Structure 1
């Protein structure tokens, strides 16, 4: 397993959201990135957590964090464990009542929760080898993507999150 950080959340050339995970010891432009395509709500949730933005009501991942805390559980780490036919799989490792539990999750949900609990994020070596790409994004481009997405978050209406 390789510990990673969220290097960015961006839009690909088709307008799909993608989260970019990068090894902790990597140098931007000189490493591998793991792109995982995610939904727009998950992308927003991850960016809200990374930016430390306030929302008028808790998002789903805030609710999950609060529920775990209320029950005395803690998120130890999240792991992107495998890829099968282009679908990524993750696990949330939680300690509750003295026992360690592994909970199956989508990577986007696992990363959104980790971003709220300061839990470390890990990717299996095999996943990074199979699905990782060379980091050809410059730091300036990554910052521009984050800035563009931050502007999007500022313009989101809380009613957009109502079911």
Structure 2
């Protein structure tokens, strides 16, 4: 099992399908997992620190865990079968509960729980991006964030 960071939620084009992107902490692989729009919103809210006026489902789960004295120790993404990822919620008591990775990640972000991915899943679904390329992609993203369409207008020649 390898620990991963939750990079964030992106929308894959042209299908407009949300994905959550995970990055290996001590490596160069990324794992994209296609998820639903509701779960994408829940993950994005947690990453941005958005507190809804009423608890969302994942907030409620966190609150139930706290109220009952349970602690979520790990979220494990353990398998991928026919393109479908499978996860486990691992509690301090030793209890393991099968869950969708998107729900598991949304809960992990709310509880400060680490997310792990099985080596076999990384081998099958991981995409290696060398650090130099990642830096170049990040610089390109920063460039895109700072430009406007007007920057591409050519002066009119007489």
Matched, 1:114 2:111: no
- RMSD of the alignment, in Å? 2.0
Shift in Å at residue 141 of structure 1? 6.2
- Count of residue pairs the alignment pairs up: 139
TM-score (norm 2): 0.81
The equivalent residue for 2:83 is 86
Matched, 1:101 2:95: yes
The equivalent residue for 1:8 is 8
Q: Larger Cα Rg: Structure 1 or Structure 2?
A: 2
TM-score (norm 1): 0.79
SS at match of 2:107: helix
Matched, 1:25 2:26: yes
Higher relative contact order (CA 8 A, sep 6+): 1
The equivalent residue for 2:40 is 43
For structure 2, the residue ranges without an aligned partner over 5 or more in a row are 146-158
Cα deviation, 1:103-134, whole Å, max 9, x if unaligned, reads: 10000010000000000000000101101113
| Deviant stretches of 4+, over 4 Å | 140-144
Q: In 2, are the aligned partners of 1:9 and 1:18 still within 8 Å (CA)?
A: yes
